[in-house]
Amino acid sequence: KAVNAIVLLEQVIERVSLDAGNKQQHICRNLPAEAIVIPLDPHRMTQVFLNLLLNAVRYTPEGGTITVSAKREAAALHKLDRSDVHVLSVTISDTGSGIAPDQLPHLFNRFYRTDEARSRHTGGTGLGLAIAQELVLAHGGSIDVESVLGEGTSFVVRLPLNPNDSALV
Is residue 114 near Mg ion by the rule CB under 5 A? no
Binding test (CB under 6 A) with ligand ATP, winner from 3, 127, 168, 169: 127
Is residue 53 near ligand ATP by the rule CB under 6 A? no
The Cα–Cα gap between 61 and 22 comes to 11
Classify residue 41 by burial, with Cβ atoms within 10 Å: 0-12, 13-18, 19+. middle
Q: How far is the CB of 52 from Mg ion (least distance, A)?
A: 8
Binding test (CB under 6 A) with ligand ATP, winner from 64, 128, 140, 160: 128
Q: Is 47 helix (H, G, I), strand (E, B) or coil?
A: helix
Is residue 129 near ligand ATP by the rule CB under 6 A? yes
The Cα–Cα gap between 137 and 166 comes to 9
The Cα–Cα gap between 34 and 31 comes to 9
Is residue 113 near ligand ATP by the rule CB under 6 A? yes
Residues 69-98: x/- map of binding to ligand ATP (CB under 6 A)?
Answer: -------------------------x-xx-
Comparison of 38 and 92: residue with beta carbon closer to ligand ATP: 92
Comparison of 24 and 164: residue with beta carbon closer to ligand ATP: 24
The DSSP secondary-structure symbol of 25 reads P
Instruction: At 142, give phi and psi (nearest 5°).
Output: -140, 155
Is residue 96 near Mg ion by the rule CB under 5 A? no
Determine what percent of the chain falls in helix, strand and coil, rounding each to the nearest 5. Answer: 35, 30, 35
Is residue 42 near ligand ATP by the rule CB under 6 A? no
* Chain residues that interact with ligand ATP, rule: CB under 6 A: 51, 55-56, 59, 94, 96-97, 99, 107, 112-114, 117, 124-130, 153
